[in-house]
Amino acid sequence: MEPPDPVDLYRRATERAVAVTAAVRPDQLGLPTPCSAWTVQDLVDHLVGGTSYLGAAFVGDEPSAPTGATAADFRDGLQACLRGLAQPGALERTCTSPLGFDWTVLEATAGTFMDVLVHTWDVAAPTGQDTALDPALVDACVAMFLPDMPERGRAAGIVGPAVPVADDATAQQRLLAAMGRTP
């Protein structure tokens, strides 16, 4: 069986993330989220920043860190990002990961897929939206990143402590708990 395509996983995860961010009401932007000290607005900014990170990576620039971003900014950044990822040679370029090591844009896309998937839940939960994530995307994320990535993130101070879950926890519950969320 062939491993999943990170660009396809990213595209599929961002479809839901765009819908979730678009459903956020202006009065919800200041709400706290399950992602430590970040508000809903901070997470929208971060998601838009993820498109900037990938976009900068495949052209060799520095990413920007947006503030006050909107769902439309996310959608527009995502569309530009997906066009760029489709360009010849884009996935083979290298960039620096948020943890400080070099990786290919293809690997960065996989990491950004995981980030988008988890942060979709982080935005959906406090805004009263459906928190169920696509089980196929969750399974792919678990297979690709657990248990190593959350531990690396904790060592770098960007992932909270793991949360215990029952032995019969779902894949989504295991993923969220490994990423420091209480599912």
Q: Please enumerate in sequence order all residues whose Cβ is within 8 A of that of 37, keeping only pairs 6 or more positions apart, or say none.
A: none
- Residue pair 106/93 in contact by the 8 Å Cβ criterion: no
Which helix H or strand E contains 170, and what residues bound it?
none
Give me the residues paired with residue 39 across strands: 32
Q: What is the pLDDT at residue 147? A: 85
Decide: helix, strand or coil at residue 16.
helix
- Asked if omega into 161 is within 30° of 0 (cis), the reply is no
Q: Please enumerate in sequence order all residues whose Cβ is within 8 A of that of 96, keeping only pairs 6 or more positions apart, or say none.
A: 102, 103
Give me the residues paired with residue 32 across strands: 39
Q: What is the pLDDT at residue 60? A: 80
Q: What is the pLDDT at residue 25? A: 98
User: What residue ranges define each of the domains in the chain, with the CATH number in brackets?
Assistant: 6-178 (1.20.120.450)
Find tokens 């293809």 and name the residue: 106
Q: Please enumerate in sequence order all residues whose Cβ is within 8 A of that of 151, keeping only pairs 6 or more positions apart, or say none.
A: none
Q: pLDDT under 70 in the chain at which residues?
A: none
pLDDT (tens digit, 9 = 90+) per residue, 69-100?
Answer: 999 999 999 999 999 999 999 999 999 988 88
Q: What is the pLDDT at residue 178? A: 95
